[in-house]
Amino acid sequence: MSSVVSVRQQPVKSSIAPAEEQHTTPFQNGVDMQALERISDKIDELNVIKADMKKPGAEKDKTQFRQYDEKQGHVIIFYTEQHLKQTVEYNITARQVFANREPGKMPVMAAAKLLDEYVDQSDPDTQVGQLEHLFQTSEAARLAGRPDWYVVTGFVHDLGKLWGLMGAQGQWDTVGDTFIVGAEYSKRIELYESLKDNPDFNDPRYNTKYGIYSPGCGLDNVMMSWGHDEFLYQVLKDQSTLPPEALAMIRYHSFYPWHRENEYSHFENDHDRAMKPWVQDFNQFDLYSKSDSPPDVEKLTPMYEKMLAKYFPAEVNFGALLKRPTSSSSSSSSNSSLSESA
Residues flagged as binding site for substrate = 66, 120-122, 161, 176-177, 253-254
With vertex at residue 47, the alpha carbon angle to CA 85 and CA 168, rounded to the nearest 5 degrees, is 30
Taken in order 46, 326, 309, 244, the sign of the CA dihedral is: positive
Q: Which amino acid, 269?
A: N
Q: Write the burial class of residue 191 (CB in 10 Å: 0-12 exposed, 13-18 middle, 19+ buried).
A: middle
Could you give the CA distance from residue 91 to residue 179 in angstroms, rounded to a whole number? 12
Annotated binding site for Fe cation: 133, 157-158, 228, 253, 286
Radius of gyration of the chain (CA): 19
Q: How many helices (H) and strands (E) does the chain have?
A: 13, 6
Q: Which amino acid is at 312?
A: F
92: left (phi over 0), alpha (psi -120 to 50) or beta: alpha
The percent helix, strand, coil of the chain (3-state, each to 5) is 50, 5, 45
Amino acid in the structure at residue 242: L
How do strand 31-32 and strand 325-326 relate by DSSP bridges? parallel
Instruction: Return binding residues.
Output: 66, 120-122, 133, 157-158, 161, 176-177, 228, 253-254, 286
Q: Say how far apart CA 219 and CA 69 lie, in whole Å.
A: 32
Residue 223's closest CA among 136, 120, 96?
Answer: 96
